Amino acid sequence: MKLLFLNGPNLNMLGIREPGIYGRQTYEDLEKYIRGFCDELGIACQILQSNHEGALVDAIQSAYGRMDGIVINPAAYTHTSVALLDALKAVSLPAVEVHLSDVSSREDFRQVSYVRLACCKTIAGHGFQGYRMAAEHLLAEKNGASQVGKE
């Protein structure tokens, strides 16, 4: 299984940005965490963070035919980006939306997610562990799908 982990704007500022909400762990800590559980689960991973919407769209498009799924934390683009939604719909790869914080308990504008419309699941409020939960979900979906018709 090959997964693309995409992280949107300001996630490179983890550990500095609003530590009361996002904690003190850094983006490098997040990358290390993702690589660690992917190795443990036998998942090949590619990890990308960008503050630029177009770079995220390009990464989603480049996943077509190369990746089995996408774990995406669109950050602020969650609430604004039809472009990310359209890219996810275009590649038709299973995708899970992840948020470090519980966005449902935050500001009103954070209640809208365009990206969610193209995702099979949303995981929010579990910190770094949400990424593992997303990967495990996609792995289970793939394994379940591969078992169909084999019984």
Summarize pLDDT for 71-101 with one digit per residue, the tens: 999 999 998 899 999 999 999 999 999 999 8
User: Which active-site residues does the annotation give?
Assistant: 22, 99
Number of domains in the chain: 1
Domain span at residue 98?
A: 2-147
- At 149 the pLDDT is 45
- At 151 the pLDDT is 42
Q: Report the distance separating Cα 20 and Cα 15, nearest Å.
A: 10
Closest CA to 129 of 90, 89, 92, 102: 102
- At 24 the pLDDT is 80
Band (pLDDT 50/70/90 cuts) for residue 150 is: very low
Residue 60 pLDDT > 80: yes
The CATH number of the domain where 48 resides is what? 3.40.50.9100
Residue 17 structure tokens: 């940005």
- CA angle, 82 then 87 then 91, to 5°: 150
Structure pTM?
0.90
